[in-house]
Structures are given as structure tokens and as C-alpha cells.
Structure 1
């Protein structure tokens, strides 16, 4: 039933239907839960939400699964059969309602459900909500709920025997399990190149009994369009009923809190037609003046105002039946795929299509990274403290977009709400990654439900930017990663059946205002034109690309291929020694040749690649007494500099290729091991994350040393105002002195939201003694509050001359104790007597963090802020600070 309401710009009196609410929920987390294995030899307390690994660890049956070799030593857990048994009480009044439903918001994964020894259903996907009608099985007083989980490894093997899809297994170096693509389960739970195999089992999201009469409001989608000076808001409520094929009368209403303390109210009587499956939809169309709401912007481009929307379903007696509260934002977003010549004229790069996001009418360069699950155990991945820490860390380095990668999970409601609040757009993959998938009826039925529920649950978040069908499966199919060439046609048919015939129409029907990409990487519209499998899914003239190359000199701007949008790229580094020591107490493990570190490296030839990357630019002797500690530290230098160069190349390429996005791989970590992350397991920032704060800076002078010896200089401006009447200063330094040997100044300008190559001529091809100098770049502009220094190192650092061992002095003073968050701020003053490269500060014994780190110092003094949860004397912090730096 549709209703159309035009809202007058005034406050309305709203009647709240809060008495005699007819929908009640019994939270099953309070039930008495017991967890047992198949033969009954293990019986421990269970938890909901929770999981078997977590509960066994709490009971002391297994140790920390991330410690030592425990990921493999505890693998027996995933081969056993586990049963959760819960006891709870219900009253006669509860059972008098028309509907008594058992609801699992998330159950992982293949399980059979019984109440009072009577089967009520089964589950086969961790990504869907299950609702079972249990009115007939429930009894007044005590009830017993039993959920028996099949081993996910065995379930995957059984399905694979009937519906095999390549690949059979992950590479041996992953220490993982096989056939995870047969299950609608977190694909990384059977292992990945950045994480362990912990095939989880459990009730990983809330479970409850709901009691109601007539109708319940399950989800609400919000479809927002800007038309002239108004916003059109279309609400679509998805209902579940106790009756099928009936017409029910109700009152459907909504209230929206807007600017100035106003509450706008809309509503009317509706006749609800329930379907055969007892579901129904109700629609409400609203027009809102642009004067009463403010636009939502991505981080770095404006504010993120959110407005409380309450949606009510009431009966004819003004009694509330069901209610949903949402926070919504008003913004427009489009993925623009149009003739590239519109942006690039007649240049050679103008072939093909653009690929960029236009938000509120403006083309914005998307800066950010890729998100993997916050914890390898999904029941722990919704920890709000961890999500807050990771997302605020992303926000603090100018992140405007995160890609939620397709081998993990659909994140918690809290995650997307925080993205809304922090202004972090989400590129949302559906959970398919690096594999072909079966297309039997059972599998497709699971997928259909998963996509319907995921889109309707998440659609109202202003942070959701687009939907993507899978991670790398178009490229895998075209590149024949897993199968024989003769099987291409079979897998192509399966691919189209899954992502095009099944998923695409669901997404486009439920969320028509957002783009659905079939895959990532993809050529977008061009891939669709070529039958959904492009001849070259990595064509730089279309779509997005993933690029990894561990052989090239990654500090060289000239080695990277062009792209319209870089949605994945990265390099491995080692974890810090402090974090590594949380996974082992045996000093023998702290060697690259140890079985422990061989076990932790899942990337084939991973250590070789890290060493080769370092050796191209840095000097580290094998006989150095601190070789291992330096290897860890230098690997983070190499990663940070490689990502800096590659990211700046993409930002520069907005000027001549219209590259409009750089999402590096990856933001976070799930264990203490070599990986591509910028934030270690536990939340500690690597050097990469500190460097990202600079290479993503809104205004940055970005030089590019060409093979010819010339230096191109770009001015990057991610602001809505142009830069003009400004100066770029170029200082030439000897490695042995803090005083520049030459300084040059150039006029500089850049349009708003642009990358502009400057009219600056610098050539180093005839510069003598290039191994003795480096260049520092800076900007002075009245309209720019800050712009970081940037550098050119003409020769690899391992071959430079004059780099001395510095004398470093550190002094700490207390600044203030903040009342808002009770954190204490300190000033850390650093003085040096020569050039220092990658000065890295640590205060391991103190709970706090530096605002910046990994400094390149060509000046005698800097001050950095340190923020701590402890209110200590400055002398204590000063004594706790240690440091490292690079020196040949």
C-alpha cells in the first residue's frame, strides 16, 4: 500500500502509540547454556552470542587460538560435532500471542534445531536471519532449546562431493581446510594468506523468542532522492504476519527529527495485503524541504548530520504493534561511468570510461583501504571497542572509503552506524571471494535469502556507497586461476547464474539508487557489455583494478600501471617485536628460520619478497647482531614507503588518467603475523598507517622522479576551494647536514578537487653526486592550514653517502588532562644533530599513542604530541620512550 505525504515546514504534534505494545522479545542470552561435544567428553558453559572456540577457551579446554601453533593444535574442534543446550522459562501470557517465533540473527553455520526434543528446523548459512514458528513446541514454564552443529569441514566436504567448484583447497602454506566455497560462511575461516584457519561454530549473533499478534515490522528501507529544493524520502517497511493471504488494517506512520528541534510527522491508514508466505510491504512517500536537513558528507569533505527516523505500525485502537528506529543521512551518491574523453579531452588516456564517485554533485577522490574481519572468530568481531578503535584510526588518516572485503562477513549494525557517524563510505562486497561457486538449488536459495536480508538490513545507511558481487572472481575466471581451460564455459555459465541472474535483480529491485558491480576488479559497464567476463578485467581504461607486484622496485613512481580506480594494492611487512611476543614466549621463535615464523607466513615466498623489496633500497647485513629486530623494523619502512609512492602515483594520476580512488590493502589484522595491514592485531599502528596520514593529506606537494632524471611536481588539492597565489619550496640537502645547500621557490596553484602538475622544472640528470643529496618539498599558502613535507631520494638509501649516526635527545612535558575523555596529553620534544631517517618512537610500557611517527628529520627540532590513558609524571614517560631509525 502506498501513501504520499507532502510535509509542511512546521512542527507537528505526534501521537505516540506506546501503551499496550503487542510485540515482546525474550532475549536468549540470559538462558542457561551448556556446550557439549558429540561423545559427551566435554561439557562446559556456553554463551549466546558466542562460539565454540571462545567458550572452550573460557573453560580452559583450549588455549588462546592465536598463540603459538594453537590454530592447528585446536583444529580438532572444527572436526567434532557440538551442541548448545539452553533452558529458559515462558509464561502463559507469552504463549497466548498469535506468533511465537524463535529467531537467530546469525548462526554459524550448518545446524539442526530442536525445542523440547521436537525438531523445528535447520540452518545452512551464517549470513541470514532464521525465524522458526515454535508456538506448538513451546510449553508454559521451562523449555529446552537444543542446537546441534555439524562440523563445517565435514559439511563442506560432503557438499563438494555433489557440487564441486574449484578450487578444492587453499594453498598448503595457508595451513587451512578445503571446500569453504561450498558453505555460506566466512570464507576466510578456512584460512587466508593473512590469517589462520579457525572454522568457527556457534550462535554468533543474538537469539531470542518473539511474541506478537497480527504483524511485526521486520526492516525498513529508505530511498532518498534530491529533486530541486526538496528531498524525496520513500520508506518501504517489510512486515511479517501471522496470517497469509489476508487484508489487515493498520495505521502506518513515521516521525523525523530535523534541524531546529522540529519533529516532522507523516502517516495514514493502510490496508495491508499479506502474501502466501505471510509477508507484506507498506510504502510511505514523503517530501522534505532542503531547509530543514543538512547534507551528509564523507570524511574530510564536510559534516555527517544524522536524523532520527521512527517508523510505527499501529492498530485501529492506536496501540503500537511494532516500531523501528533508524538514523538516516541526506546525500546523493553516483558511480559515474561515462566516456572518458569528457574528462580527459583527446588525450591517449581518454579511451574507455570513467569510474568515479560523485557525492552531492561533486566528483570526489576516494582515499582509504580495505577492511577484513575485526576478529577471525566472528562472535568476537562485533566488539564495539575494537570497531571504534579501527574506524577512528581510519578516520584520523583522512579515510573517506573502506571496502568491506568479500571473504569476511557482513559487519555488525554498530560498524555501519559508526561509519555513518564518522563519514566513512563503504564499498560493500557480497561474501564471495577468490573461488568459483556451486549453483545448485539449495545454494542459490541460501544466496537469495542472504542478499535480500543484507540489502534490506543495510540499505538505510548513508555510508553504503555501492554493492559488489564478489572479490576477484571475474579475474579468476578469465585468468583460469583454478580450473582447466576446457571448463571455462561451464564456470562462466555458473558465474552468470549466480551474480547476474540471481543476485543482480534482487539488489536492483531492493536498492535501485545504488550501483551493483558484478565483481571487483571489473571493467564495470564494459565487462557487462562483454558478457560479464571481460577479455581483460584489468584494463586500465575501465573500472577498478587490484595490483600486486613484489618483484619491481616499489619505491619507483614509474613502475605502476595506470587505473581509473585502485581498489586493492599493497605490500607485506612484519609485525612489531612487541606484538610478535604476544604470540610466543620462546626466544628461539624470534628468527625468520624458526618453525614458528614459517608457520605464520601464509604468503608463498613471502619472506623472500619482503627481503627483496628491502634490499632494493635499504642496507641490512645478515651478520648484523640485531638482524632480526632490524628486519622487522625495515620491513615496515619498506611497506610504508612503497605504499606512499604507489598511493601518490594514483593521486597524481587524477591529472592525466582521471584516477579517482586509492584503497590500499589492508587496514587491519587478525593475528600476529606478516601481513599487508597498516594496523597490527591489538590496534597498534604500523609505520604505514602513520605515513597514510601524510600521503592522504588533503593538500600535498607530490613530486615524481622520472627515469629521465626530471622531477614532475604535482599539487594535490582535495578541498572545495582552489589554491592560488602560493609557493612551493624545494630544498636540496646533503645527507650530513640539517642546513639546505640550495633552496628554490616556485609559484603554485591548483583547482578545487584536483591534481595539478605544476610548471616547475627540476632536473637531476646532470646533478653531480646524486648519492649525497635529497630534496624536500613544502607549500606555503594563505588558504592552507597545513601541508606535510614531502621528499625525493634520488638514489637508494643503501648507497647514499654522508648519512651519519645521529645524537637524539628527547624531553617530555605535560600539557593537560582532557575532561572529555580523561586522557592526558604530553609534548615530546625531539632534538637531533644530523639528518635522521624513519625515526620510530615507542613507549611500550605506557598505554597511549604518538600523534605521528616514522619521522624523516631534516630539521634540528620537532615536537610531537603523546596521548595517554595514564596520568603519569612526564619523567616516567620520558624514561619509557625508546627509538629506532635507519642508518647504513
Structure 2
């Protein structure tokens, strides 16, 4: 009888026995600290902070300053114990392995009080141990003892120090994170708290078989003229005691027309000394049987079911994996920029853009940090993953960068990206540090890179691998006082990212580009010995850019770049979200210890205030000062990111800028950060604005230092915009009726940004009394959002009134698939800036943060559960900008 267990989204099945050791009625887990004073029932997969919360030993870890008050947890030693049954029949299998998909992080494993069967020190790898000699019929006991990650990191640092020693003190974090192959952000970051957890964060199980198992599958898809070549590599594994594999390997793929294509081969091979062998099958598929996989906004992300099957001649035993593959080509093009831009300043250096299915696509998106500060919750909370990725999809994002200080995400995460058409820029998990290169460290890194590339390679969403986050610029820029020994650290850098990691990626996944670092000059950095003299050279590669001193609503302040892979500004989360972390009203004050504790960016509030007050009025004695500060911080963040993103999109025309991934999509706690979505899922104004500034077709004006206005037409479609009409309405702040209206012809080639032939300067009016609204109508363009220019800072405008606003919710509730859709009607009697609708009912408005230039507008509210329209109406609260 077959036993099935779903271990991850790639379905693994074998005829052999699988004993799932996750918490259940059949398997009980407990935890205990070193001196036995703290113990309780455990949940596996899980972690110690999660278990202590469930047991009532500690409270909500994200409440107030509990990140520091619960630090004792991370300083202790914890033992997890499981009791489970094994039958005599189970023990008859030739191979019996304990498989641990993820242990966080430094631990010793004991079965039935025997000597330790193994020690582990990397949370990012799967460990497989032979436990046949240690198991017995009846009850068995598994003990996993985790060392304090803080102590383990310090011990390693004393032997192989690499800077920096500690995170900045304002993080309230811990030291030597770079010594452990553990989520680097768990020791604290400028956007998150320190929770250096321990635990069994991914599944643990026993596999028992006689023949062999397919451990990994990679797929190598190439275009062959009009057809496709699919090469499937099966990484087959058995026990070292069994060195012969005899059986049949087959593949089957379902393609268009409800057809299934199959191919098989006889396998009769000796394994390597470690009991592994790689077998491959190539299948040529006619192009008319396949539809392409496209990124979000450019086409459908079509996926096909692939079945890989190994039948062993030993007892006719089966092992197979089911996965989904997409057919697409992708490359990063780094060619002379002069080929596109001519022999100009912009034409120096190299391009840097993604070509997908033969087309150069502008990559719009954001950066992904872990969805939870506790990795086991980030792994298991599929609702949060769904909500965040769907939110990215819904605002026209085509790419997310999985940042190098977090984790290699779950199979579910990448499956979801495959389905949504979200490409992934995948960093390896090294960030903002120098790293040791002693042999033990390099050995565990080798295992980590091998396994994670093998695990993720088949996903259509994976676009590029990057060796690290910001370590090239950190070394060249002397972030950690390495300049006195630069040569040593340069050699270490090359040994890790070039000599160790790069060959592994090239061997397993030769089709994708490996970038040694991000940001980097790409090929130019490589030619300069992998540490460029200026890794931020705008003529090459990708850049990270932050500037909290300039006027960030002014397009003329931003530098050129080929690809903006990080940039951003902070804001506070909503007061509703802050209240989930404190019930003390005194905490909701900028001068409170609570908010000082939550701000991990040095001078962070001063930077927010500087940007905010540069454009908006906010008196220190305002009775609603804090409420307005929070709201205005979100306006300021949204406007700054809108401005910078449109600069990069306009830059496609004259610099061939081809990507804008802002920092950051999501949050791990209720605190000021760079995110567009708050912890808990509430959208900030930034995320609503992203829907417009990432729109496929957008009129994007730029007020120059000379006060003239350049107007760009941005077109991210495969067809040109022709016969368009660009309308410019000039409004006085006192009236809905424009004081002037001009219309101009517009056009743009497919996949382009084009400066329009429009000569515009309307400062015959007093600039403080007016603003400009830009809109577009064109054949075949269903939607293009309005855009605006405010000629002077809002604090200087004259005539803006305090509006009267009426909100009503229609009684008719529409059902759209599994969602409920409410129509919210808004009536106003004057111009309104950044009209914000908020409710405590779970759901979201389709749009928000309105610039209201008409007396009536409607917006949809989407939620999962029915609420009476009158209750929704009564729950809606309003905010807007007032002078």
C-alpha cells in the first residue's frame, strides 16, 4: 500500500514508508530549556518563540518592547523531544533516513539515547541522516538540542571574525549574525526587531525504502527554432551502502490540446561515493503545443504539469515528483549602450535589462523581506503570502527581489509567483557584512547553494541569482573599516562569491545569469576584479539609492541608473496598526519611548519630518499633531516614491533605465519602515499609488528647473500608443472648473518611454494658486490614470478650502468570484488633496489617496465576508491634507 505525504509544493511520493514526524495525535513533541525550568508542548514545524507564546510563558512578542524583554529566550539552550512509533515492518526497509527540511540553526540530533547521529549548523539546508541502526520497534525518541544562536555566533566569531561585529545600537539587536547561516535579519535590521529564534521550522520525517528516491528535479528549457527542448535532470539518491541503481526513469508533460507527451529511459548505473547520481531525459516539444509564460502585465503566466517518475527494479518501488513548469526565455542583456543611445554620455558603458521571450521588458516591482520575523510563521502562513503577492500583482508589479538578509522562501511562495507571473530576483542569503571564509563555513555554504538552486531552479519565476546584498559596495566604500586590510577582504569576497558560489550556480543552472552582488556594475565589476572602483557607476548594472536630504518630490534631484533595484523612503504605519502593538495611549506620541524603540533608522523621524514639512504645513501645537504626522508621512512617502519611480520610467527614453524595484513591499512588525504594506496587510498610500505609477500606459510630466514642463508618454505594452489625446487641465484651488484646458497629440512606440513634442509653461498664472492635471485618451487604451503637477510646495498654495464630504454605500452588494464588492459614493464641495478612506472592516478599497477634482466619485471596497452596507458606511473614517 502506498503512503503519501505532501512535504512541499513539489509533490514527492514513494512506494516506501513515510513517517511524518510533524505534531499530530500520533507524534507528540515537547520543549524544555537547559535547566528544566521552562517546558511545554511543542508544535512542529514551529519555533521556540511560537511555542512559548502558545504555552503562555511569554506574551505577544510584537507588543511594545517585548523584543528586548524576551531576549532571554535566544540566550538559552532548548531541547525538542518527539515520541513516535515504528513497526517491525518499517524496520525491514534497506534504507531508513531521518529527513530534516529545516532546523534553525545550530543543533545536535540524538535518536533513542544513542550517540548523536549528527550536528547541524545551517537553517537553509535539508539534512538527511541514516537512522536504521538506531531505530527500534515500538516507541522511539528523537531529541534535537538547539544552542543559543547568540552564543554560537560569538563562539564562531572568536575563531573567524568578520566585520561588522554588531548591528548599530539603535537596532536593539545582537552581534555576529554573519557567522551563522541563519536569517540575518533575525539579529535585527533597520526595519525590524531581533528575534534570534531556534526550532524545527520546516517538516521533519522518516523515509524508508529499498531502492532509490528522486531528491531534486531541475528543468532546462531552451528554444530550438520554432520548438522547445525540455531537459529534465533527476537527482537520484540512495544509501551509501547501495551503490547500484536499476530501474526506469520517465517523464510526462501535459501540453495544449489535452495531450500528454512521454519519454523514458532505462537506468542501470553505479552511484557516486555519496550515494547519488544524476540522470537526464530530453524531450523535444512542438512550439504549437506550448503557450508562453509571461510576467504580470505582459501576458498570461501559462504553466504545465510535469511528472517525473523513477521505478526501481527492487520490489518495483516508485519515487516521483510532480511540478509545474513554464516555457519562456530570459536573459540579462549587458551590451554596449551606444547601440541604443548613440555616442552620447548616456551611450557610454553597458545596458542592463531583462529580455523575456525576446522582448526588452521594463521591470516594475519592489523588494520582499521575510513575511514574518519568525521563519516558521513566514513559512506556514499561506494567507499572508497570498495577500502580499496578490497585492503586488494587483498594482502592476512584474518583479520582486527576494532580499539577501532573509530566507530562501517556501516552495508555496515560488509556486504562487509562478501562477501570478511575478519574476523573482533571488539574492543568496548574504547581506551588509563581510563573511568568514574558513573551510567549515565554505563547506556549509556549498551545501546551501547547491540545495537551494536545485530546489528552486525549475520555477519559471526565478529570473536571476545574485550573490549578496550590498557587500561589494560595503567593501569598496569601507562601511566596516576594512580599508586598512582591503586586500585580505577582497580575497575573501572573491573566494566566497566567485570561487565558491558561482561555479555551483553555473553547473546546476547554466541558463540564468549569476550576478556577484547587488548593486553591482555587472560585467564591468567582473572585469575590474569583482570589486569595481565605483560599484554605483550609473552606466552599468543596478543601483541602490537613498537620499533623505534632497527635495524628494522634485524629479530633478534623482540620479541616472540602468536599473534601480532598491530605493525608498520611510513612513509610519497607520494608528490602527500601531494600536495592535500597544494599548497605552501615551505611546502614540513621537516623543514616547515606544516609538523611539520602534525607530531603528538613525535620525529616522528627523528625516521623515524634514521631507514632510518641506511640502506640507504641520504646526507643532496642532491638537491632532501625531495623527497628522502619521498620515502626512504616508503622503510624503507615496509622493516621493511616485516621483522617483516615474523618473526611472522616463529614463527609459534617454538613459535606457529598465527597472524600478522600490524598497520595500512588506513589514514584519508595527513600526516606521520603508514598506508599502503594513504588518497585518493594511495598504499604505504608497501601495495604492503604485497602481498608478506602475500603470501600463501613463502620462508622466516633469517640471524642470527652468519651470518648463516635459511630458513623457510611458507605454509598457506590445502595441504602440497612436492617435492619443493628452489633456492638460489647469485648476485653481478654489474651483472644480478648470481655468484653462489644452489638448495635445500623443504617441509612443511599443515598450517605450517617449518625450512628447509639447512646449509647455503655464506660469502666466500665479503658481501658488493653480495645479495641473494630465490625462490621456487613446484607441485601445482602456485605462490610464490621471497625473498631476503641483508647481509649488503644498504648504505655499493659496485657496484650498476645507471640504464638506458625504459618504454613502450603495445597498446592492456584488459578488466577484469569492469576493464581495461594495460601491462607495463620495460627494465633495471643493478640491480635496489625498482623500483617504479608512475602516476597521477587513478588506481594502480598490483605490485611495484621491486627488479629487470633481464633485462626485465612486470607489469599490472589496472584502471576503458580508457586512451590512450601512455598517460599512458608518465605519468609514476620512483624512485629507489641509493647510
Whether TM exceeds 0.5 here: the answer is yes
Gaps of 5+ in 1: 1-17
Report 1:53-452 matches (<5 A): 53-118=49-114, 119-243=116-240, 246-316=243-313, 319-382=316-379, 383-452=381-450
SS of the equivalent of 1:673 reads: coil
1:27 is displaced (CA, Å) by: 3.6
Contact 1:23–1:216 (8 Å) recurs in 2: no
Report 1:587-598 matches (<5 A): 587-598=585-596
In 1, the alpha carbon distance for the partners of 2:241 and 2:485 equals 45
In 2, the alpha carbon distance for the partners of 1:848 and 1:534 equals 47
Tell me the residue number matched to 2:774. 777
In 2, the alpha carbon distance for the partners of 1:835 and 1:747 equals 28
Tell me the residue number matched to 1:511. 509
Matched, 1:886 2:881: yes
Report 1:697-716 matches (<5 A): 697-716=695-714
Contact 1:213–1:242 (8 Å) recurs in 2: no
Tell me the residue number matched to 1:839. 835
In 1, the alpha carbon distance for the partners of 2:865 and 2:125 equals 43
Tell me the residue number matched to 1:723. 721
TM-score (norm 1): 0.97
Q: Deviations over 1:443-487 (max 9, x none)?
A: 000100000000000000000000000000000000000024211
In 2, the alpha carbon distance for the partners of 1:110 and 1:421 equals 35
2:18 to 15, 24, 36: 24
Tell me the residue number matched to 1:537. 535
Matched, 1:811 2:805: no
Contact 1:272–1:281 (8 Å) recurs in 2: no
Matched, 1:42 2:38: yes
In 2, the alpha carbon distance for the partners of 1:808 and 1:625 equals 22
TM-score (norm 2): 0.97
Report 1:471-486 matches (<5 A): 471-486=469-484
1:305 is displaced (CA, Å) by: 1.2
In 2, the alpha carbon distance for the partners of 1:431 and 1:512 equals 20
Tell me the residue number matched to 1:663. 661
In 2, the alpha carbon distance for the partners of 1:591 and 1:843 equals 22
Report 1:453-602 matches (<5 A): 453-602=451-600
1:603 to 594, 601, 605: 601
In 2, the alpha carbon distance for the partners of 1:636 and 1:312 equals 52
Matched, 1:51 2:47: yes
Report 1:630-779 matches (<5 A): 630-764=628-762, 766-779=763-776
Change (3 A) 1:304 1:59: same
Contact 2:330–2:354 (8 Å) recurs in 1: yes
Tell me the residue number matched to 2:826. 830
Change (3 A) 1:275 1:79: same
Q: Deviations over 1:113-139 (max 9, x none)?
A: 000011100100000000010000000
1:245 is displaced (CA, Å) by: 8.0
Contact 1:777–1:790 (8 Å) recurs in 2: yes
Tell me the residue number matched to 2:9. none
SS of the equivalent of 2:117 reads: strand
1:350 is displaced (CA, Å) by: 0.3
1:615 is displaced (CA, Å) by: 1.0
Contact 1:29–1:206 (8 Å) recurs in 2: no
Contact 1:370–1:404 (8 Å) recurs in 2: yes
Contact 2:17–2:90 (8 Å) recurs in 1: no
In 1, the alpha carbon distance for the partners of 2:336 and 2:70 equals 54
**How many residues of Structure 1 are paired with residues of Structure 2 in the alignment?**
868
SS of the equivalent of 2:442 reads: helix
Contact 2:568–2:674 (8 Å) recurs in 1: yes
Tell me the residue number matched to 2:860. 865
Change (3 A) 1:19 1:866: closer
Change (3 A) 1:731 1:404: same
SS of the equivalent of 1:763 reads: coil
Matched, 1:877 2:872: yes
Change (3 A) 1:184 1:19: closer
In 2, the alpha carbon distance for the partners of 1:270 and 1:336 equals 39
In 1, the alpha carbon distance for the partners of 2:184 and 2:330 equals 30
Q: Deviations over 1:850-875 (max 9, x none)?
A: 10000001111111011223323322
In 2, the alpha carbon distance for the partners of 1:419 and 1:360 equals 18
SS of the equivalent of 1:381 reads: helix
1:783 is displaced (CA, Å) by: 1.3
Contact 1:50–1:203 (8 Å) recurs in 2: yes
1:667 is displaced (CA, Å) by: 0.1
Tell me the residue number matched to 1:12. none
1:620 is displaced (CA, Å) by: 0.4
Tell me the residue number matched to 2:851. 856
Contact 2:482–2:489 (8 Å) recurs in 1: no
Tell me the residue number matched to 1:14. none
1:491 is displaced (CA, Å) by: 0.6
1:247 is displaced (CA, Å) by: 3.7
In 2, the alpha carbon distance for the partners of 1:507 and 1:819 equals 44
Contact 1:181–1:436 (8 Å) recurs in 2: yes
1:20 is displaced (CA, Å) by: 9.2
1:264 is displaced (CA, Å) by: 1.0
SS of the equivalent of 2:861 reads: strand
In 1, the alpha carbon distance for the partners of 2:284 and 2:96 equals 38
Change (3 A) 1:626 1:535: same
In 2, the alpha carbon distance for the partners of 1:451 and 1:537 equals 24
In 2, the alpha carbon distance for the partners of 1:671 and 1:19 equals 38
Change (3 A) 1:867 1:819: closer
1:878 is displaced (CA, Å) by: 1.1
The answer to which of 235-244 and 798-807 deviates more is 235-244
Q: Deviations over 1:85-131 (max 9, x none)?
A: 10000111111111111111000000000000111001000000000
In 2, the alpha carbon distance for the partners of 1:791 and 1:242 equals 66
1:807 is displaced (CA, Å) by: 1.0
Change (3 A) 1:729 1:819: closer
1:609 is displaced (CA, Å) by: 0.2
In 2, the alpha carbon distance for the partners of 1:353 and 1:172 equals 40
1:320 is displaced (CA, Å) by: 4.1
Change (3 A) 1:90 1:760: same
Gaps of 5+ in 2: 1-11
In 1, the alpha carbon distance for the partners of 2:858 and 2:66 equals 43
In 1, the alpha carbon distance for the partners of 2:108 and 2:620 equals 56
Tell me the residue number matched to 1:11. none
In 2, the alpha carbon distance for the partners of 1:564 and 1:67 equals 42
Q: Deviations over 1:331-364 (max 9, x none)?
A: 0000000000111122220000000000000000
In 2, the alpha carbon distance for the partners of 1:244 and 1:511 equals 30
